[in-house]
Each structure stands twice: as C-alpha cells, then as structure tokens.
Amino acid sequence: MGETALGAPVLEMKGITKRFPGVLANDGVDFTLLKGEIHALLGENGAGKSTLMKILYGLYMADAGSIRVEGKDVEIREPNDALRLGIGMVHQHFMLIPQFTVAENLVLGAEPTTGGVFLDMKAAIKKVKQVSEHYGLAIDPTARIMDISVGMQQRVEILKALLRGAEILVLDEPTAVLTPQEVAELFTIMRNLRERGKSIVFISHKLKEVTEISDRVTVVRRGRVVGSVQTSTTTVDALAGLMVGRAVELVVEKGPSNPGDDVLVLQDVYALDQRRLPAVKGVSLTVRGGEILGIAGVDGNGQNELVEVITGMRRATSGKVLLKGTDITNWDPRRLSGKGVVHIPADRHRHGLVLDFTVAENMVLQTYYKPPFTRGTSLNWDAIRHEARRMIEEYDVRTPSEDTRAGSLSGGNQQKVIVARELSRSPELVVAAQPTRGLDVGAIEFVHSRLVKARDEGKAVLLVSLELDEIMALADRIAVMYEGVIVGIIDRDEATEEQLGLMMAGAAGRGGR
Amino acid sequence: MTFDAQTIKYLVIDILASTIPLATPLILAAVGGVFSDRSGVVNIGIEGMILIGSFTGVLTSYYTRNPWLGFLMAGLSGCLTAWFHALASIKYKANQTVSGVAVNIMATALTGFLLKAIFDRAGQTERVVKLARWTIPVIKDIPIVGEIIGSGPPPVYIAFIVVALAHIVMFKTVLGLRIRACGEHPEAADTAGVNVALIRYGCVMMSGFLAGLAGGTLSLGELSLFKEGMSAGKGYIALAAVIFGRWTPVGAMWASLLFALADAIQLIAQNWGFTLIPQEFMLMFPYVVTMAALAGIIGRSTGPAASGKPYVRRGV
Ligand SMILES: Nc1ncnc2c1ncn2[C@@H]1O[C@H](COP(=O)(O)OP(=O)(O)OP(=O)(O)O)[C@@H](O)[C@H]1O
Ligand SMILES: [Mg+2]
C-alpha cells in the first residue's frame, strides 16, 4: 500500500450506478482521486455524494460500475474490505459510541490483545497516543465520547481511520457541525495529512471552504458528474452555477425592516442544561413583528437551551416568556404551536423528524389533528397527501414520492421537509435554529428568502445560528450570547464581524455585562 | 413463640440457606439476559427457554439416567430455542417482543404436549435421577457460612462461576467490547468492521443456553421431575434482575439474590406461620423494585441504546 506516486490515481471509480426505490442516486458516475490531493465533492442535496462514498466504503452495493484502488480492480462488499484497502471514512453522522472512551472507540474492530482474547487497554492507549502524536492530533484517550466536544469527536473519527492505516480518507460534510475555529483546525489537519501523502475526499456545501482547501473539485448533479475542475481555475460563483445549473444569489436580497409590535418578550429567563447546570442565566430580549433577531455565539453557550425554553421543550426555572402579551412560560409545545410559534430545530434527527414515518406523515406532524387532515376520528389521507405534494413542490424536496420514508432522504432534503412543514403554518413567531445546516447553496438561498418573506409579512423571526455569515446576511438586529447571557445587542448595520467575534469570545460586551 | 437470640439465628440461617438455591436459576437466566440485551436483542423468550430446558433435562435423565447429560441437554435445548428467536429478530428483523412472547407460548404448548405424548401423564413427569448435591470441603466447616453455602445442588456453584466468567468476558475481552458496541451503536460497530449479526446470534444463543441451564437447575437440581409451567415466571424475574442489575453480570447476580431473598422470606414466613405481610406482596417485590429502578427512583438505569432494535444496513 502507498507505493503509488504522488499525483497518480489512487482511486478510480468508473460508471458507478446505484438505484434506490424511485431514485437513481448515482447514474454512471466516474470519479478519480489522485494521491496526495484534497478533492472536493460538490453537489446539491440529494445529488448522490454520500451514496457514492458509501459505495466506496462497502455500506451500499453498486448496481453497476467498477472500482480500482492503486491500479488494481477491487471488490468492496463491506466496510472491512474498505478498511483493508486503506479506505477510511468519517461519516456525515458520526459513528462513535458515546458511552465508550476515545481509546475504546478507536481500537474497536482491530483491538490489541494479550493472548488473543483479552483487551489490552494499555497497548490501545499507547497506540492511540503514538498515532495522535504522529499526526499532531492531540486527544485524551481515556475521555468518554459523550463528554467531549463535537470537534474532538471528529478528531476521533479521523484518527480512527488513520489508525486502521487509511491512505484514502473520505470526509462527508465534516464542517457542518464545527465552529469556525474548529474548521480552521480541521483544515490544518487536512493539509498536514496531504503533506504526508494521504488522499482526501472532502464533501461540503460551503463553497468558500471548498475553494480554500481543495486542489480539485468534482461537481455532481442529480446523480451524474457535471464537471471536474482544478480549484485554482474556478470561482465560488462558477461552482455555484455548475452545481445548481443556474445562477445563484449568494447574498440575500432584503429591504429595510419595518418593525411593529413586540411579539416575543423574554424577561430574565433562567434554565438548566441536561446535566442540571445553569445554562441560561437571566436572558431578557424582545423580538418585534417584522424583524429578524439573530442570536450569534459559539456552540454551547446556552443558545440551544434558550430555544428549547421558548419552544416549550425545556422548563424555565425562573423568568417570563411573553407572546404578544400572553404569558406562555413553560407551556407545552402543542399549546405553543396552536398559538403560532413554529420551530425549526437544530437537531433534525432528535426533534425535527420521525425518521421511520413517511415524508407526508412528517409534514403534518403538528396539524394532523385539525381539519382538513382529520375527518371525525380518522385521518383524511387524500388531504394529507395533497398538502404534502404541494409542499414538496413548493420547497423542492427531492424525494421519489410523499410516501417515502423520511430517513431515506439525503440530509439536506430531510431539512427541507422540516422547513416546509414549519413555515407553511402561518406563524406569529418563527424560531429557527441552524435552519440551513447541511443545505446546498440553492436551498440556502431558498430558506433565507422564506425567512425574509416571513419577516416582510410582519412575523417575528428569531434566528439562532453558529454561522456568522448567516447571521450577518439575515438579521436586522444581532444579539450575542456568551456563557448563558446576552452580552450585547447591536443593529446589523452597526455590526462588524470583528466586533461580533470578540463578543462571541467573551472579550467585549456592549454596555457592560 | 419467643424471639430469643437462638431463634433469630436459626431464622436468619434458614432464610439465607433457602435464598441461594432460589437465586440460582435466576442468576443463570439473568446473566444470559445480560448477554442478549448487551448485544442489542431483548430476550423475553427466556421464560420459555427455561421451561424447555427443564423438560429436556428430565427427558434426557429419564432415558439415560445421567443427570449431568440431562443438565447439558437442558442448556443445548435452550440454545436451540434461542436460535429461533435469533433468526426471527436478527435475520428477519421481527419485533423482538413479539418473537419472545411467541417462544414462551410455544414452550408452554410444546412441553405440555410432549409431557402427554412421552410420559402419558398430565401435570408432571415421574421422578428421574437428579444431580447429586455437592459438599465443599473447607467451606462446610466454617460456622454459619458453612450452613448456608457449605453444600448444595451443583448448579448453585456453577452459577457463581458463570457470573465470574461472564464478568471477565464482558469487561475484559475483545469479544465483550464488541458485544457492548453492538448493543450501543450497531452502525458504529459495523463500520469498524465488526460482524454485528454474528455477535448478536452468539449472544442470543448464549442467553438461551444459560436459560436452559436455569431450567435444568429447577428440574434436576432441586426437584427430580418436570412439572407443567414449572418456570413460573422466573424468566421474567430474571429480566427484571438484568435491568435492576444495570446490565452487568455481577449486578444481575446481586439483583437475583435480592429477589430470591424476598421469595425466601415469604416462604419461610409461611412455614413459621407468620401472616404479617400477605404473600402476594412479597411476590410483587421483584417487579416493584424493577419499576422503581426504571423510573429512576432507585438510581438511574438506562439500557444499551440500540437494544430491541433490529440492525439494518440502510439501503443495501
Ligand atoms: N438508504 C436509502 N434508501 C432510499 N433512498 C436513498 C437512500 N440513501 C439515499 N437515498 C436517496 O438517494 C439520493 C442521493 O442521496 P445522498 O444521501 O447520496 O445525497 P447527498 O448528495 O449526500 O445529499 P446531502 O448533501 O443532502 O447529504 C437521494 O435522493 C436520497 O433520497
Ligand atoms: Mg450526504
């Protein structure tokens, strides 16, 4: 392994075709990876990127096509085959066991032993330390996965692949869950690995990232390759066009806001987190009709808990939440939903979707008990399907039909199902947490325009995002949250990235703490 | 009756000495349950596997007059029964609760039928050769302790050895790590190259084997015959012990001992003619404790995350 010269192909996938019920996910895809390059795989939600990589990793079987690794024809029937061939993958949704330690996760499947039977944890920890030092990826082998940050978890995933001797590393949307600092660290790691002759496939929807880190880009659209280019010869706009097949507005068109009455008022709200430690520590703020209030902050500074309090998923331990003057503190989600509070949750698998339900069922999760979806005591499936088809059309959800299991949609299309359901419920208040996580540029453009539209119709929009770009593009006013408190609220027009960055790091407040 | 020191001493020894044999089938079955659950398959069918084991054990001893062979066959028959459950829940991704309940119903019907067909009797078989008691040399001479565990049916000692081995396998070996991985996050295990189906088959069948031995303990260790329905809910109590013991072999052992203690108190109270607490309440004890454990009143119990869910490699 590894005898391929730099710049020569280490991996050639030819004519890969994969059909799922109702979708042609890969349609004769050719993909070549050179030794020592970072190769970005770009494409709309549902274009077939993850599918192609899962075929490479032995999780799916291709219906047709061939794979060559280091010039030899290979057959990859299961992950073990891929691992043996030096192919490692960091999945879009992490494959780590939360209860296990870092070292246990790392050695699982190829454990060092004493006597061939007993787990040799000392050797495991030593090996982990060696590899992590070799690649400059510091990690505590004895920490439990559930206690470490997402960025660290990703590091574990990368190490897992390296430990198994990966020469080819697939990173499926590795940056979607990272903070900007963590992204910067990841890029350093990637460059470092490239230096050592590893070849990396990098999937991302963020064109800026792609142009920054990759050497070449292959663009997939609806299961087919539409082009492969040298990154240095292209631009963000050109890539966006190639991806979506039309020109994309990368900046949001939006007029000045026209704020009306107070819709959401928080008065000195306190709440605890999962571990029963204070997470929200006296937050007061107001969102008016006709404006978008953005909450910026580094992940884990109480934003999630705050959103959960507003949407009835977490108890406020003290303080008040008012909606148009009505005290809605600690109402349950169904009652809030009846009052016109809609919620696009940050964790789509835990809170947004029932993965085993169909798209149509997911789309009426909050409204199924009301006419026209209910007739007497039974569901009116005609009406439900009809409405689902309308939403699929309007929000461009890429799904074979409304009867498809939500869990089988691509990550981005799952997100669109949620956005469609929530925004079509004529809301008073929209609470959007990471509404575009994992979406392609076209879909982001669409969701952004819908949020602006809601604003222009006089709705109040509370936007929580870890991406400063998104906040800057959409918000009319920006609140920065740090360690459970709002450290300042500024008008968008007065805000600069530098200032916000400082506030997010807890370095500067506005008007004191 | 007076409660002088001597009486209390007898009473306590009497209770503890009955606790151990009562706990034995529970321990064996519960350790099996730990394996199955830890690998990600809920085995409600333990109850039926105990029943099949107790019948097969007696049947074998009846024909061969070799109770040890009977005991072994009890385990193997439980293992075979478990294979059906494994097939349904792993290969065919059936609902594991339904499959387990089906095993229990089938076991009741099958043993009832075979009892009639082979022994031509209803209710119970005739007596067969049972396992001879063991006496443990040094321990039997220790005061009090000797009276409690100095001698007893062999399965008693086997059960404690099984607990020790199970603990080592589960927490010290590569196999144990993989078993736990399959129960927590089968996809992660799969992508790391672990054969999830193989591990699950093995664990479910192991659990069937131990449940079968639990059955053999009932029919060849304590009694020397098979009675219809002689598992009498022990499989369910063993499942309760799995949960209350937090899915560890040692925990399951202590839970089994606790539940058996409650049972022993109840039995001895009857013998001594106490009626302070109605018998029914004592019988409820294991279930009440388990519910309290699950509800988080007595510590928090959360089982293996993927237990009960079939693993499907999406879209193959
Ligand atoms: N297991 C599956 N069963 C059925 N259909 C599937 C399955 N996995 C993927 N698909 C379908 O195949 C298509 C390609 O999906 P894939 O996950 O490869 O997209 P993607 O390019 O990774 O998109 P995203 O950027 O949203 O993650 C989608 O239409 C999806 O619905
Ligand atoms: Mg994907």
User: How do residues A126-158 score in pLDDT, each as one tens digit?
Assistant: 999 999 998 888 899 999 998 888 888 989 999
Which one is predicted more confidently, A385 or B282?
A385
Q: Which residues does chain A have within 8 Å of residue B198's beta carbon, measured at their own beta carbons?
A: none
CB contact under 8 A, A108 and B184: no
Residue A87 tokens, joined: 């192919």
The Cβ-side half-sphere exposure at B165, using a 13 Å CA radius, reads 12
pLDDT tens figures, A425-480: 888 999 999 898 888 888 888 889 889 999 999 999 999 998 888 999 999 999 99
- Closest by Cα among A258, A253, A285, A256 to A459: A258
Residue B181 tokens, joined: 């991985």
Nearest chain A residue to B196 by CA distance is A109
Lowest-confidence pick of A253-267, B2-16, B138-152, B189-203: B2-16
Q: For A9-19, what is the mean pLDDT?
A: 96
What backbone phi and psi angles, to 5 degrees, belong to A221? -135, 125
Residues 6+ apart with CB under 8 A from B163: B27, B31, B249, B250, B252, B253
Interface of B with A (CB under 8 A): 172-178, 180-181, 184-185, 187-194, 305, 313-316
Nearest chain B residue to A77 by CA distance is B316
Parallel, antiparallel, or unpaired for β A38-43 and A216-221? parallel
Structure confidence at residue B301 as a pLDDT band (50, 70, 90): low
Put residue A257 in one of left, alpha, beta given phi > 0 → left and psi -120 to 50 → alpha.
beta
Check if the beta carbon of residue B223 is closer than 8 Å to that of residue B130.
yes
Sheet strand arrangement including A38-43: A87-90, A168-172, A199-203, A38-43, A216-221, A224-230
Instruction: Look up the CATH number of domain B11-297.
Output: 1.10.3470
Q: For B5-24, what is the mean pLDDT?
A: 89
Residue A434 Cα to chain centre, angstroms: 8
Q: Length of chain A in residues, anyone?
A: 513
Ligand nearest to the CA of A43: 1
Predicted pLDDT at B296: 67
Radius of gyration of chain A from its Cα atoms, rounded to whole angstroms: 24
Q: Is the CB of A439 under 6 A from ligand 1?
A: no
Please report which residue ranges of A258-403 form alpha helices under DSSP H: 303-310, 333-338, 359-363, 381-395
Predicted pLDDT at B314: 58
Detail the DSSP E strand segments found in A111-236: 113-114, 118-119, 168-172, 199-203, 216-221, 224-230
User: Which domains are seen in chain A, by residue range?
Assistant: 1-86+167-248 (3.40.50.300), 96-164 (no CATH), 252-339+462-513 (3.40.50.300)
Question: What is the distance between the terminal CA atoms of chain B, rounded to a whole angstrom?
Answer: 73
CA of A409 to the centre of ligand 1 (A): 5
pLDDT tens figures, A21-30: 888 999 999 9
Q: Which residues does chain A have within 8 Å of residue B189's beta carbon, measured at their own beta carbons?
A: 97, 108-109
Q: Is the CB of A90 under 6 A from ligand 1?
A: no
pTM over 0.90: no
Examine the pLDDT at B266 and tell me if it is beyond 70.
yes
CA distance to partner chain A, nearest, from residue B23 (Å): 30
d(CA A118, CA A113): 5
Ligand 1: which atom is nearest the Cα of residue A47?
Answer: 21
Residue A20 tokens, joined: 């799922």
CA distance to partner chain A, nearest, from residue B196 (Å): 11
Q: Which residues does chain B have within 8 Å of residue A19's beta carbon, measured at their own beta carbons?
A: none
Q: Which residues does chain A have within 8 Å of residue B172's beta carbon, measured at their own beta carbons?
A: 118-119
Check if the beta carbon of residue A321 is closer than 8 Å to that of residue A268.
no
